[in-house]
Chains A and B, each alone.
Chain A
Amino acid sequence: MRALGTLAALAVAVLAQSASGGFEWRGAPTVDLVLVVVVYVALTGGPVAGLAAGTLGGLVQDALSTGILGMGGLAKTVVGFLAGRFGTQFIVTATVPRIVTFAAATAAHAVLFMGAYALLGLRSFPDPMTAVAIQAAGNGLAGVVCFQLSEWLPRAIERRRATRGMRVSR
Protein backbone atom coordinates (compact mmCIF):
# COMPACT_ATOMS: atom_id res chain seq x y z
CA MET A 1 0.00 0.00 0.00
CA ARG A 2 2.81 2.29 0.92
CA ALA A 3 4.69 1.35 -2.22
CA LEU A 4 1.65 2.17 -4.32
CA GLY A 5 1.37 5.51 -2.57
CA THR A 6 5.01 6.21 -3.32
CA LEU A 7 4.52 5.28 -6.95
CA ALA A 8 1.48 7.53 -7.16
CA ALA A 9 3.31 10.40 -5.51
CA LEU A 10 6.21 10.05 -7.88
CA ALA A 11 3.88 9.93 -10.85
CA VAL A 12 2.08 13.06 -9.69
CA ALA A 13 5.41 14.79 -9.08
CA VAL A 14 6.68 13.95 -12.54
CA LEU A 15 3.47 15.08 -14.17
CA ALA A 16 3.34 18.28 -12.14
CA GLN A 17 6.98 19.04 -12.83
CA SER A 18 6.51 18.57 -16.56
CA ALA A 19 3.26 20.46 -16.61
CA SER A 20 4.66 23.45 -14.74
CA GLY A 21 7.73 23.77 -16.93
CA GLY A 22 10.00 23.23 -13.95
CA PHE A 23 8.65 26.14 -11.96
CA GLU A 24 11.42 28.25 -13.41
CA TRP A 25 12.46 31.57 -12.03
CA ARG A 26 14.93 33.60 -14.09
CA GLY A 27 15.58 30.58 -16.21
CA ALA A 28 16.42 28.25 -13.35
CA PRO A 29 14.16 25.57 -11.90
CA THR A 30 12.97 26.65 -8.52
CA VAL A 31 11.78 23.26 -7.37
CA ASP A 32 12.39 19.60 -8.10
CA LEU A 33 9.18 17.91 -7.12
CA VAL A 34 10.52 14.42 -7.69
CA LEU A 35 13.36 15.13 -5.29
CA VAL A 36 10.88 16.51 -2.80
CA VAL A 37 8.84 13.30 -3.00
CA VAL A 38 11.98 11.17 -2.66
CA VAL A 39 13.12 13.03 0.46
CA TYR A 40 9.64 12.92 1.87
CA VAL A 41 9.40 9.15 1.33
CA ALA A 42 12.88 8.72 2.83
CA LEU A 43 12.03 10.75 5.94
CA THR A 44 8.82 8.91 6.47
CA GLY A 45 9.77 5.44 5.28
CA GLY A 46 13.49 5.05 6.00
CA PRO A 47 16.59 4.60 3.87
CA VAL A 48 15.38 1.62 1.86
CA ALA A 49 12.20 3.38 0.87
CA GLY A 50 14.14 6.53 0.09
CA LEU A 51 16.64 4.56 -1.93
CA ALA A 52 13.94 2.84 -3.95
CA ALA A 53 12.02 6.05 -4.50
CA GLY A 54 15.19 7.84 -5.52
CA THR A 55 16.15 5.15 -7.96
CA LEU A 56 12.75 5.00 -9.55
CA GLY A 57 12.10 8.73 -9.61
CA GLY A 58 15.55 9.58 -10.84
CA LEU A 59 15.49 7.04 -13.63
CA VAL A 60 12.09 8.21 -14.76
CA GLN A 61 13.29 11.79 -14.76
CA ASP A 62 16.37 10.81 -16.72
CA ALA A 63 14.33 8.81 -19.18
CA LEU A 64 12.06 11.77 -19.83
CA SER A 65 14.92 14.19 -20.26
CA THR A 66 17.78 14.41 -22.74
CA GLY A 67 20.44 13.71 -20.15
CA ILE A 68 22.41 10.59 -19.43
CA LEU A 69 20.20 7.85 -18.10
CA GLY A 70 21.32 7.13 -14.56
CA MET A 71 22.77 10.50 -13.62
CA GLY A 72 19.66 11.71 -11.86
CA GLY A 73 18.92 8.21 -10.67
CA LEU A 74 22.33 7.94 -9.03
CA ALA A 75 22.03 11.32 -7.33
CA LYS A 76 18.52 10.73 -6.10
CA THR A 77 19.30 7.20 -4.95
CA VAL A 78 22.13 8.40 -2.76
CA VAL A 79 20.16 11.38 -1.51
CA GLY A 80 17.14 9.22 -0.74
CA PHE A 81 19.29 6.80 1.19
CA LEU A 82 21.07 9.54 3.14
CA ALA A 83 17.82 11.33 3.89
CA GLY A 84 16.33 8.08 5.11
CA ARG A 85 19.35 7.52 7.35
CA PHE A 86 19.05 11.05 8.62
CA GLY A 87 15.36 10.61 9.33
CA THR A 88 15.97 7.49 11.37
CA GLN A 89 18.74 9.14 13.41
CA PHE A 90 17.10 12.49 14.10
CA ILE A 91 13.59 13.67 14.84
CA VAL A 92 12.53 15.87 11.97
CA THR A 93 9.05 17.01 12.81
CA ALA A 94 9.31 20.75 13.18
CA THR A 95 9.00 23.01 10.18
CA VAL A 96 12.50 24.49 10.25
CA PRO A 97 14.33 21.20 10.54
CA ARG A 98 12.25 19.92 7.67
CA ILE A 99 13.14 22.92 5.54
CA VAL A 100 16.81 22.49 6.42
CA THR A 101 16.64 18.80 5.62
CA PHE A 102 15.07 19.40 2.22
CA ALA A 103 17.57 22.17 1.50
CA ALA A 104 20.49 19.99 2.50
CA ALA A 105 19.16 17.14 0.40
CA THR A 106 18.87 19.52 -2.55
CA ALA A 107 22.45 20.65 -2.07
CA ALA A 108 23.67 17.06 -1.85
CA HIS A 109 21.68 16.17 -4.94
CA ALA A 110 23.17 19.11 -6.81
CA VAL A 111 26.67 18.18 -5.76
CA LEU A 112 26.19 14.62 -6.95
CA PHE A 113 24.32 15.48 -10.12
CA MET A 114 26.46 18.39 -11.25
CA GLY A 115 29.61 16.77 -9.96
CA ALA A 116 29.01 13.65 -12.01
CA TYR A 117 28.36 15.66 -15.16
CA ALA A 118 31.36 17.89 -14.54
CA LEU A 119 33.55 14.91 -13.70
CA LEU A 120 32.75 13.28 -17.01
CA GLY A 121 33.11 16.58 -18.83
CA LEU A 122 29.65 16.33 -20.31
CA ARG A 123 28.13 19.55 -19.17
CA SER A 124 29.02 22.81 -17.47
CA PHE A 125 26.88 24.62 -14.90
CA PRO A 126 27.26 28.40 -14.94
CA ASP A 127 26.63 29.97 -11.54
CA PRO A 128 25.55 26.73 -9.84
CA MET A 129 25.51 28.22 -6.36
CA THR A 130 22.63 30.56 -7.08
CA ALA A 131 20.64 27.89 -8.83
CA VAL A 132 21.21 25.43 -6.02
CA ALA A 133 20.32 28.01 -3.38
CA ILE A 134 17.09 28.94 -5.15
CA GLN A 135 16.15 25.33 -5.63
CA ALA A 136 17.04 24.46 -2.05
CA ALA A 137 14.68 27.14 -0.85
CA GLY A 138 11.97 26.04 -3.25
CA ASN A 139 12.36 22.38 -2.34
CA GLY A 140 12.35 23.26 1.33
CA LEU A 141 9.06 25.06 1.00
CA ALA A 142 7.61 22.34 -1.20
CA GLY A 143 8.71 19.72 1.28
CA VAL A 144 7.12 21.52 4.19
CA VAL A 145 3.93 21.87 2.17
CA CYS A 146 4.02 18.14 1.44
CA PHE A 147 4.35 17.33 5.10
CA GLN A 148 1.60 19.80 6.03
CA LEU A 149 -0.66 18.32 3.38
CA SER A 150 0.09 14.77 4.43
CA GLU A 151 -0.71 15.63 8.02
CA TRP A 152 -3.68 17.89 7.31
CA LEU A 153 -5.37 15.83 4.63
CA PRO A 154 -6.14 12.71 6.69
CA ARG A 155 -7.44 14.80 9.53
CA ALA A 156 -9.60 16.85 7.15
CA ILE A 157 -10.99 13.71 5.61
CA GLU A 158 -11.70 12.30 9.04
CA ARG A 159 -13.38 15.47 10.10
CA ARG A 160 -15.52 15.58 6.98
CA ARG A 161 -16.54 11.96 7.48
CA ALA A 162 -17.45 12.70 11.04
CA THR A 163 -19.51 15.77 10.07
CA ARG A 164 -21.32 13.80 7.35
CA GLY A 165 -22.13 11.09 9.88
CA MET A 166 -23.62 13.55 12.31
CA ARG A 167 -25.90 15.02 9.57
CA VAL A 168 -27.14 11.55 8.66
CA SER A 169 -27.93 10.68 12.29
CA ARG A 170 -30.03 13.86 12.65
Chain B
Amino acid sequence: MALADIGQRPGLLLAAAVTLHVGLISAQVTTSSGRTIFHTVVFGGFSEGQRGASTVVGGVRNVWDSYFALRDVRAENEALRAELNALQVQLQAERSRAERADAYRSLLQLRARVPLETTGAEVIAAGVSPEFRTVTIDKGGSDGVAADMAVVAPSGVVGRVTQPSARASLVQLIVDRNAAAGAVIERTRVQGIVVGVGDGSLRMDFAPATGDVVAGDVVVTSGIDGLYPEGFILGTVERVARGDGLYHEIAVRPAVDFSRLEDVLVVLQRHAPAVEGVK
Protein backbone atom coordinates (compact mmCIF):
# COMPACT_ATOMS: atom_id res chain seq x y z
CA MET B 1 0.00 0.00 0.00
CA ALA B 2 1.50 3.29 -1.08
CA LEU B 3 1.89 6.21 1.31
CA ALA B 4 -0.60 8.23 -0.71
CA ASP B 5 -3.15 5.46 -0.32
CA ILE B 6 -2.69 5.52 3.42
CA GLY B 7 -3.49 9.22 3.35
CA GLN B 8 -6.81 8.30 1.78
CA ARG B 9 -7.60 6.04 4.69
CA PRO B 10 -7.91 8.31 7.71
CA GLY B 11 -9.62 5.61 9.75
CA LEU B 12 -6.65 3.36 9.35
CA LEU B 13 -4.34 6.16 10.27
CA LEU B 14 -6.40 6.95 13.34
CA ALA B 15 -6.28 3.34 14.44
CA ALA B 16 -2.54 3.29 13.96
CA ALA B 17 -2.06 6.53 15.84
CA VAL B 18 -4.30 5.47 18.70
CA THR B 19 -2.49 2.15 18.92
CA LEU B 20 0.81 3.98 18.97
CA HIS B 21 -0.32 6.21 21.79
CA VAL B 22 -1.87 3.42 23.80
CA GLY B 23 1.35 1.47 23.46
CA LEU B 24 3.33 4.49 24.48
CA ILE B 25 1.16 5.08 27.52
CA SER B 26 1.17 1.45 28.46
CA ALA B 27 4.93 1.37 28.45
CA GLN B 28 5.04 4.08 31.10
CA VAL B 29 2.10 3.53 33.39
CA THR B 30 2.58 0.96 36.10
CA THR B 31 -0.17 -1.14 37.57
CA SER B 32 -0.71 -1.93 41.24
CA SER B 33 1.66 -4.86 40.86
CA GLY B 34 4.48 -2.49 39.94
CA ARG B 35 4.70 -3.60 36.36
CA THR B 36 3.94 -1.37 33.41
CA ILE B 37 0.65 -1.72 31.64
CA PHE B 38 2.62 -2.55 28.53
CA HIS B 39 4.24 -5.48 30.28
CA THR B 40 0.98 -6.50 31.85
CA VAL B 41 -0.96 -6.29 28.61
CA VAL B 42 1.75 -7.96 26.58
CA PHE B 43 2.30 -10.65 29.16
CA GLY B 44 -1.42 -11.07 29.70
CA GLY B 45 -2.06 -11.23 25.98
CA PHE B 46 0.76 -13.63 25.34
CA SER B 47 -0.13 -15.73 28.33
CA GLU B 48 -3.70 -16.02 27.08
CA GLY B 49 -2.32 -16.84 23.67
CA GLN B 50 -0.06 -19.42 25.21
CA ARG B 51 -2.98 -20.79 27.19
CA GLY B 52 -5.03 -20.99 24.02
CA ALA B 53 -2.17 -22.61 22.15
CA SER B 54 -1.65 -25.01 25.02
CA THR B 55 -5.35 -25.83 25.01
CA VAL B 56 -5.32 -26.43 21.28
CA VAL B 57 -2.14 -28.49 21.45
CA GLY B 58 -3.49 -30.37 24.44
CA GLY B 59 -6.74 -31.03 22.63
CA VAL B 60 -4.94 -32.22 19.53
CA ARG B 61 -2.64 -34.37 21.64
CA ASN B 62 -5.62 -35.71 23.56
CA VAL B 63 -7.40 -36.57 20.33
CA TRP B 64 -4.22 -38.15 19.05
CA ASP B 65 -3.58 -40.11 22.23
CA SER B 66 -7.23 -41.05 22.60
CA TYR B 67 -7.88 -42.08 19.07
CA PHE B 68 -5.09 -42.25 16.55
CA ALA B 69 -2.50 -43.65 18.91
CA LEU B 70 -5.06 -46.03 20.34
CA ARG B 71 -5.61 -47.62 16.98
CA ASP B 72 -2.30 -49.39 17.41
CA VAL B 73 -3.04 -49.96 21.06
CA ARG B 74 -6.31 -51.59 20.19
CA ALA B 75 -4.64 -53.95 17.75
CA GLU B 76 -1.95 -54.63 20.32
CA ASN B 77 -4.60 -55.14 22.94
CA GLU B 78 -6.42 -57.64 20.78
CA ALA B 79 -3.19 -59.49 20.07
CA LEU B 80 -2.33 -59.53 23.77
CA ARG B 81 -5.81 -60.70 24.65
CA ALA B 82 -5.57 -63.50 22.14
CA GLU B 83 -2.17 -64.40 23.50
CA LEU B 84 -3.54 -64.29 27.02
CA ASN B 85 -6.39 -66.58 26.08
CA ALA B 86 -3.97 -68.99 24.47
CA LEU B 87 -1.74 -68.85 27.52
CA GLN B 88 -4.68 -69.43 29.81
CA VAL B 89 -5.69 -72.47 27.80
CA GLN B 90 -2.10 -73.65 27.86
CA LEU B 91 -1.92 -72.99 31.60
CA GLN B 92 -5.05 -75.01 32.19
CA ALA B 93 -3.64 -77.81 30.09
CA GLU B 94 -0.37 -77.68 32.03
CA ARG B 95 -2.22 -77.61 35.31
CA SER B 96 -4.32 -80.55 34.18
CA ARG B 97 -1.18 -82.41 33.17
CA ALA B 98 0.38 -81.62 36.52
CA GLU B 99 -2.69 -82.85 38.33
CA ARG B 100 -2.71 -85.97 36.25
CA ALA B 101 0.96 -86.46 36.97
CA ASP B 102 0.30 -86.05 40.68
CA ALA B 103 -2.55 -88.53 40.45
CA TYR B 104 -0.38 -91.01 38.61
CA ARG B 105 2.37 -90.50 41.13
CA SER B 106 -0.08 -91.19 43.93
CA LEU B 107 -1.37 -94.23 42.14
CA LEU B 108 2.16 -95.49 41.64
CA GLN B 109 2.93 -94.93 45.28
CA LEU B 110 -0.24 -96.75 46.21
CA ARG B 111 0.57 -99.53 43.82
CA ALA B 112 4.02 -99.89 45.31
CA ARG B 113 2.61 -99.82 48.80
CA VAL B 114 -0.12 -102.36 48.20
CA PRO B 115 1.19 -105.92 48.07
CA LEU B 116 -1.50 -106.79 45.56
CA GLU B 117 -1.68 -107.08 41.83
CA THR B 118 -3.41 -104.04 40.48
CA THR B 119 -4.02 -102.24 37.21
CA GLY B 120 -4.51 -98.58 36.65
CA ALA B 121 -7.74 -97.39 35.11
CA GLU B 122 -9.20 -94.10 34.07
CA VAL B 123 -12.69 -93.01 34.85
CA ILE B 124 -14.31 -92.41 31.47
CA ALA B 125 -17.90 -91.78 32.49
CA ALA B 126 -20.08 -91.01 35.45
CA GLY B 127 -23.28 -92.77 36.38
CA VAL B 128 -26.27 -92.29 34.16
CA SER B 129 -28.79 -92.51 36.96
CA PRO B 130 -28.77 -90.29 40.00
CA GLU B 131 -30.25 -93.08 42.05
CA PHE B 132 -27.22 -95.26 41.57
CA ARG B 133 -23.76 -93.97 42.27
CA THR B 134 -21.57 -95.54 39.63
CA VAL B 135 -18.71 -94.69 37.30
CA THR B 136 -17.29 -96.37 34.23
CA ILE B 137 -13.61 -97.18 33.94
CA ASP B 138 -11.63 -97.94 30.81
CA LYS B 139 -10.47 -101.39 31.85
CA GLY B 140 -12.48 -104.56 31.38
CA GLY B 141 -12.26 -108.28 31.05
CA SER B 142 -9.47 -108.12 28.49
CA ASP B 143 -7.38 -106.41 31.13
CA GLY B 144 -8.11 -109.04 33.75
CA VAL B 145 -10.86 -107.11 35.45
CA ALA B 146 -13.68 -109.18 36.83
CA ALA B 147 -16.77 -108.60 38.92
CA ASP B 148 -16.44 -107.84 42.63
CA MET B 149 -12.91 -106.64 42.29
CA ALA B 150 -12.08 -103.75 44.57
CA VAL B 151 -11.37 -100.35 43.11
CA VAL B 152 -9.25 -97.99 45.13
CA ALA B 153 -7.73 -94.58 44.81
CA PRO B 154 -4.79 -93.00 46.58
CA SER B 155 -7.11 -91.36 49.06
CA GLY B 156 -9.19 -94.43 49.81
CA VAL B 157 -11.74 -96.98 48.71
CA VAL B 158 -13.71 -96.17 45.59
CA GLY B 159 -16.00 -99.16 45.21
CA ARG B 160 -16.23 -102.46 43.42
CA VAL B 161 -16.54 -103.70 39.90
CA THR B 162 -20.09 -104.81 39.24
CA GLN B 163 -20.31 -105.21 35.50
CA PRO B 164 -17.19 -105.73 33.47
CA SER B 165 -17.19 -105.77 29.73
CA ALA B 166 -14.30 -106.50 27.41
CA ARG B 167 -12.75 -103.02 27.52
CA ALA B 168 -14.65 -101.20 30.26
CA SER B 169 -16.25 -101.83 33.57
CA LEU B 170 -19.06 -100.38 35.65
CA VAL B 171 -17.96 -99.59 39.19
CA GLN B 172 -20.38 -99.28 42.09
CA LEU B 173 -19.14 -96.50 44.34
CA ILE B 174 -18.96 -97.10 48.04
CA VAL B 175 -21.37 -94.20 48.57
CA ASP B 176 -24.12 -95.94 46.61
CA ARG B 177 -27.06 -96.86 48.82
CA ASN B 178 -26.58 -100.53 47.97
CA ALA B 179 -22.84 -100.62 48.64
CA ALA B 180 -21.27 -101.91 51.83
CA ALA B 181 -17.86 -102.80 53.14
CA GLY B 182 -16.51 -104.40 56.30
CA ALA B 183 -14.95 -101.63 58.33
CA VAL B 184 -12.95 -101.04 61.46
CA ILE B 185 -12.10 -97.97 63.48
CA GLU B 186 -8.37 -97.75 62.93
CA ARG B 187 -7.60 -96.35 66.37
CA THR B 188 -9.64 -98.74 68.55
CA ARG B 189 -10.33 -101.61 66.14
CA VAL B 190 -14.06 -101.33 66.73
CA GLN B 191 -15.72 -103.21 63.89
CA GLY B 192 -18.80 -102.52 61.87
CA ILE B 193 -20.14 -102.24 58.36
CA VAL B 194 -19.89 -99.08 56.30
CA VAL B 195 -22.79 -98.56 53.94
CA GLY B 196 -23.59 -95.92 51.43
CA VAL B 197 -26.39 -93.56 52.30
CA GLY B 198 -27.00 -92.48 48.75
CA ASP B 199 -26.48 -88.77 49.29
CA GLY B 200 -22.72 -88.91 48.97
CA SER B 201 -22.06 -89.80 52.60
CA LEU B 202 -21.41 -93.06 54.48
CA ARG B 203 -22.79 -94.58 57.59
CA MET B 204 -21.13 -97.14 59.86
CA ASP B 205 -23.57 -99.73 61.20
CA PHE B 206 -23.22 -102.39 63.78
CA ALA B 207 -20.48 -100.69 65.72
CA PRO B 208 -21.03 -101.75 69.36
CA ALA B 209 -22.18 -99.02 71.66
CA THR B 210 -19.52 -100.10 74.09
CA GLY B 211 -16.82 -99.41 71.53
CA ASP B 212 -14.66 -96.34 71.70
CA VAL B 213 -15.55 -94.25 68.71
CA VAL B 214 -15.18 -90.51 68.50
CA ALA B 215 -15.45 -87.97 65.75
CA GLY B 216 -12.28 -87.77 63.71
CA ASP B 217 -11.48 -91.45 63.93
CA VAL B 218 -10.32 -92.95 60.67
CA VAL B 219 -12.41 -95.81 59.30
CA VAL B 220 -10.61 -98.42 57.20
CA THR B 221 -11.63 -101.63 55.50
CA SER B 222 -11.50 -104.68 57.72
CA GLY B 223 -11.21 -107.17 54.88
CA ILE B 224 -13.84 -109.53 56.31
CA ASP B 225 -16.20 -109.05 53.40
CA GLY B 226 -13.93 -110.76 50.88
CA LEU B 227 -14.22 -107.78 48.55
CA TYR B 228 -12.00 -105.06 49.82
CA PRO B 229 -8.47 -105.69 51.00
CA GLU B 230 -7.77 -104.81 54.59
CA GLY B 231 -6.49 -101.40 55.60
CA PHE B 232 -7.83 -99.14 52.87
CA ILE B 233 -9.32 -95.93 54.11
CA LEU B 234 -13.07 -95.59 53.85
CA GLY B 235 -13.45 -92.25 55.52
CA THR B 236 -13.44 -90.29 58.76
CA VAL B 237 -15.97 -90.40 61.57
CA GLU B 238 -17.91 -87.19 61.36
CA ARG B 239 -20.49 -87.67 64.08
CA VAL B 240 -21.23 -90.34 66.68
CA ALA B 241 -24.62 -90.77 68.31
CA ARG B 242 -26.18 -93.25 70.68
CA GLY B 243 -28.34 -95.69 68.69
CA ASP B 244 -30.95 -98.11 69.92
CA GLY B 245 -28.76 -99.13 72.80
CA LEU B 246 -26.69 -101.80 71.12
CA TYR B 247 -24.91 -99.86 68.38
CA HIS B 248 -23.52 -96.48 67.67
CA GLU B 249 -24.98 -94.40 64.93
CA ILE B 250 -21.87 -93.21 63.16
CA ALA B 251 -21.78 -90.79 60.22
CA VAL B 252 -18.69 -91.18 58.09
CA ARG B 253 -17.32 -88.69 55.62
CA PRO B 254 -15.89 -90.50 52.58
CA ALA B 255 -12.16 -90.23 52.08
CA VAL B 256 -12.47 -90.07 48.33
CA ASP B 257 -13.75 -86.98 46.58
CA PHE B 258 -15.91 -88.73 44.02
CA SER B 259 -16.60 -85.52 42.13
CA ARG B 260 -12.94 -85.32 41.14
CA LEU B 261 -12.29 -88.98 40.57
CA GLU B 262 -10.17 -89.55 37.47
CA ASP B 263 -7.70 -92.39 37.99
CA VAL B 264 -8.12 -95.49 40.05
CA LEU B 265 -6.50 -98.83 40.71
CA VAL B 266 -8.34 -102.08 40.26
CA VAL B 267 -7.21 -104.82 42.60
CA LEU B 268 -7.02 -107.74 40.28
CA GLN B 269 -6.80 -110.53 42.78
CA ARG B 270 -9.60 -111.56 45.03
CA HIS B 271 -8.60 -112.38 48.55
CA ALA B 272 -9.91 -114.56 51.28
CA PRO B 273 -11.89 -112.87 53.98
CA ALA B 274 -9.67 -111.82 56.82
CA VAL B 275 -10.83 -112.58 60.33
CA GLU B 276 -9.89 -110.02 62.90
CA GLY B 277 -7.72 -111.56 65.54
CA VAL B 278 -7.11 -114.76 63.60
CA LYS B 279 -4.99 -113.20 60.93
Q: Which residues of A contact B (CB under 8 A)?
A: 46-48, 51, 55, 68-71, 73-74, 77-78, 81, 84-85, 116, 120, 122
Query: Which of B14-22, B221-229, B257-265 touches A?
Result: B14-22
A53–B37 alpha-carbon span in the complex (Å): 26
A4–B13 alpha-carbon span in the complex (Å): 20
Indicate whether A81 sits within 8 Å of B25 (C-beta atoms), given known contacts A51-B17, A55-B17.
no
10 residue pairs, one from A and one from B, having the closest CB atoms: A70-B24, A74-B21, A70-B25, A47-B10, A70-B21, A77-B17, A81-B14, A48-B10, A73-B21, A68-B28
Cβ of B277 < 8 Å from any Cβ of A? Answer: no
Cβ of B29 < 8 Å from any Cβ of A? Answer: yes
Contact A68 B10 (CB under 8 A): no
Interface residues in B, total, Cβ within 8 A: 15
Q: Which residues of B contact A (CB under 8 A)?
A: 7, 10, 13-14, 17-18, 20-25, 28-29, 37
A81: chain B residues within 8 A (beta carbon): 10, 13-14, 17
Contact B22 A74 (CB under 8 A): yes
Distance of B31 from chain A, by nearest CB (Å): 9
Question: Which of B7, B10, B14, B28 interacts with A70 by CB under 8 Å?
Answer: B28
B37: chain A residues within 8 A (beta carbon): 120
A51–B20 alpha-carbon span in the complex (Å): 13
Contact A68 B13 (CB under 8 A): no
Distance of B7 from chain A, by nearest CB (Å): 5
A-B contact count (CB 8 A): 51
Residues of A contacting B: mostly:
helix
A69: chain B residues within 8 A (beta carbon): 24-25, 28
A47–B14 alpha-carbon span in the complex (Å): 9
Contact A120 B14 (CB under 8 A): no
**Known contacts A51-B17, A78-B18; 16 further A-B pairs (Cβ under 8 A):** A46-B10, A47-B14, A48-B10, A51-B14, A55-B17, A55-B20, A68-B28, A69-B24, A70-B21, A70-B24, A73-B21, A74-B25, A77-B14, A77-B21, A84-B10, A116-B25
Distance of A22 from chain B, by nearest CB (Å): 23
A73: chain B residues within 8 A (beta carbon): 21, 24
Distance of B91 from chain A, by nearest CB (Å): 77
Contact A77 B10 (CB under 8 A): no
A71–B22 alpha-carbon span in the complex (Å): 8
Contact B10 A51 (CB under 8 A): yes
Contact B22 A70 (CB under 8 A): yes
24 A-B residue pairs with CB within 8 Å: A47-B14, A48-B7, A48-B13, A51-B17, A55-B17, A55-B21, A68-B25, A68-B29, A69-B24, A70-B20, A70-B21, A70-B22, A70-B23, A70-B25, A70-B28, A71-B25, A73-B24, A74-B18, A74-B21, A81-B17, A85-B10, A116-B25, A120-B25, A122-B29
B24: chain A residues within 8 A (beta carbon): 69-70, 73
B23: chain A residues within 8 A (beta carbon): 70
A77: chain B residues within 8 A (beta carbon): 14, 17-18, 21
A169–B14 alpha-carbon span in the complex (Å): 53
A68: chain B residues within 8 A (beta carbon): 25, 28-29
